[in-house]
Structure 1
Amino acid sequence: MMGKGLKWGLGLGVAALIIGGGSYAYSQHKSQQETKTVTVGIVGDSDRRLWEYVKEDAKKEYGIDVKLKTFTDYVQPNRALADGDIDLNAFQTVNYFDTQKTKYKTELTDIGKTYVTPIRLYSDKLKSLDKIPDGATITIPNDPSNAQRALDLLEEADLLKYDHSAKLPSASDITDNPKKIKIKEVASDQSVSTLKSADAAVINTNYALDAKLDVDEALYVESVDDAHKGYFNLIAARKGTEDKQAYKDIVKAYQTEKTVKHMKDLYGTAQQPAWGKYAEK
């Protein structure tokens, strides 16, 4: 027969296993619950409107609670992501992403494309491109990626030419300027306000939409083709976290035909999907 001491010891062991197993199951459940809440950094209210729909689908289809954190500039969201203050961000183009990774040495990675918004040249004073006078002042974004994008736009519009061998081109790299246009570099989030003083301004679409500018009244619109795929927007995560199922599910919740419809309803021609079959156009 088994001694009382041995029975007591086995009982303790079984109890410990049950308690330990319960603790492990609880910690696993808690961990799973934590991964179901994902904070996404975005820029501006125009993006928020679309993400509110994505939030609903992520919750309904995958049980993920998406929390949105809105930033007002293009620098903070990548810093916040790198520091772990947010889980994902969705606001930037491929070119801007690559530039920021190099500049700040951030360990971030692209986990899915979202949309493309052709950048545009706007004016409160002029009605058409051919009305831009000699000596006009045009403002462009001052961060390297968007500055190059603005110069590409102005070159495509036959207003100037610049040195394409420049690694991070700016206004100082302009080589041909027949109208002697004055290029003024400003922070992207200040570009709309420059319409009051400048003759025209190159403005990122999210800021244009936030300011209720009519994108169809722009003086010039960037082409959307293979040469401009660096301007497709993306969802970014920290390296090492990109395989989390919740993150993959958020990308799936975004990349749907429902999102395409919401995009068209919200933004008209200002924004176009940039994933799957849409990216192959």
Structure 2
Amino acid sequence: MKKSKKLLLFAVTLFTAFLLVSCGNNKKSSSSTGTEEKTVKVGIIGSDERVWDSIKPQLKKKGINIKLVQFTNYDQPDQALNSGDIDLNSYQHIFYLNNWNKAHHADLVPIGNTIIAPLAVYSKKIKSIKDLKKGDEVSIPNDATNQARALQLLESAKLITLKSNVELPTPNDVIKNPKKLKITPLDASQTPRSMNDVAIAIVNNNVALDAKLDPSTAIYTEKITKKSKPWVNIIAAQKKDKNNKTYKEVVKAYQTEAVAKKIKEVYKGSTIAAWNYKF
């Protein structure tokens, strides 16, 4: 019996020592700086990956590991953020976020400005927007906010007239259409492909870049004015995380001169860093 007790005591001591060594090793391996590394999942769409990749080393030094999660549909990143599958997303403007929150009874919030990306008109069939003929087809993004923005662009080009005082106009709000243009809403990602079938396509900037469209070939570009403020893109988080210190570090790392230069490089000068922009 005494021998059994000694063996049991020895086994317990050995197991305890093993646990202590294991825990010590795990703590040491968590970070070379001695602090636990935090992984932040950021939902993006398209070519923003190259911009975000440029800030990863800076955040890594602060114990923050950025994991980019690519999406292909505009609705997906907000769904993922709202459900907690990702921590932040960076792809949408303020107007889109507000509209998405309203439609889904959600309370996602902006925690930092990123860029403003003008919509542009592309064509394989005409060289100038003035060359549009009666009955020509125009493709535009079909999500509520970018559809409204595209229609306002057509109005600024004096191609249509919209009802006044409509916050988010739809094709049903066109009251004058002298050229009888056929306006076809499509998923934003499909607008570049539609160029084989339509006279002009109005394309979001990041979608255009992913489709290898050169911004310098656009035949008309949205003007940036004081009215453009709702179209500023943002980093979004859940409301409970709006003051999260780690996420604030992510915003701080993004809003730098080095990132502004990277944005200009990646988007070939067609996109503007918006955190210091004067509207």
TM-score by length of 2: 0.86
Q: Which residue of 1 aligns with 2:52?
A: 51
1-structure distance, mates of 2:262, 2:168: 35
- Displacement of 1:168 in angstroms is 3.3
- Displacement of 1:217 in angstroms is 1.1
**1:146 is the counterpart of 2:149:** no
2-structure distance, mates of 1:201, 1:141: 9
- Displacement of 1:167 in angstroms is 4.7
2-structure distance, mates of 1:259, 1:94: 20
**1:68 is the counterpart of 2:71:** no
Listed one character per residue, the Cα deviations across residues 116-171 of structure 1 (whole Å, up to 9, x for unaligned) are: 11001111111111111111100111111011000010000111111133353211
- SS state at 1:138 partner: strand
- How many residues align? The count is 251
Give the partner amino acid of 1:280: K
Q: Which residue of 2 aligns with 1:3?
A: none
Q: Which residue of 1 aligns with 2:262?
A: 262
1-structure distance, mates of 2:166, 2:268: 35
- Displacement of 1:203 in angstroms is 0.6
Displaced runs of 4+ in structure 1, greater than 6 A? none
Give the partner amino acid of 1:53: S
Give the partner amino acid of 1:48: E
Q: How does 1:182-201 map to 2 (within 5 A)?
A: 182-201=182-201
- SS state at 2:241 partner: coil
Q: Which residue of 2 aligns with 1:231?
A: 231
Structure 1 unaligned segments of length 5 or more: list them.
1-18
Q: Which moved more, 1:146-155 or 1:161-170?
A: 161-170
Q: Which residue of 2 aligns with 1:90?
A: 90
- Structure 1 vs Structure 2 CA RMSD: 1.9
- Displacement of 1:175 in angstroms is 0.5
TM-score by length of 1: 0.85
2-structure distance, mates of 1:56, 1:204: 29
Give the partner amino acid of 1:220: Y
Q: How does 1:1-281 map to 2 (within 5 A)?
A: 33=36, 36-44=38-46, 46-60=47-61, 62-276=62-276, 279-281=277-279
- SS state at 1:268 partner: coil
Query: Percent of pairs identical after alignment?
Result: 40
- SS state at 1:147 partner: helix
1-structure distance, mates of 2:107, 2:203: 29
2-structure distance, mates of 1:110, 1:266: 23
- SS state at 2:113 partner: strand
- Displacement of 1:257 in angstroms is 0.3
1-structure distance, mates of 2:171, 2:58: 43
Give the partner amino acid of 1:50: V
- Displacement of 1:244 in angstroms is 1.3
Q: Which residue of 2 aligns with 1:7?
A: none
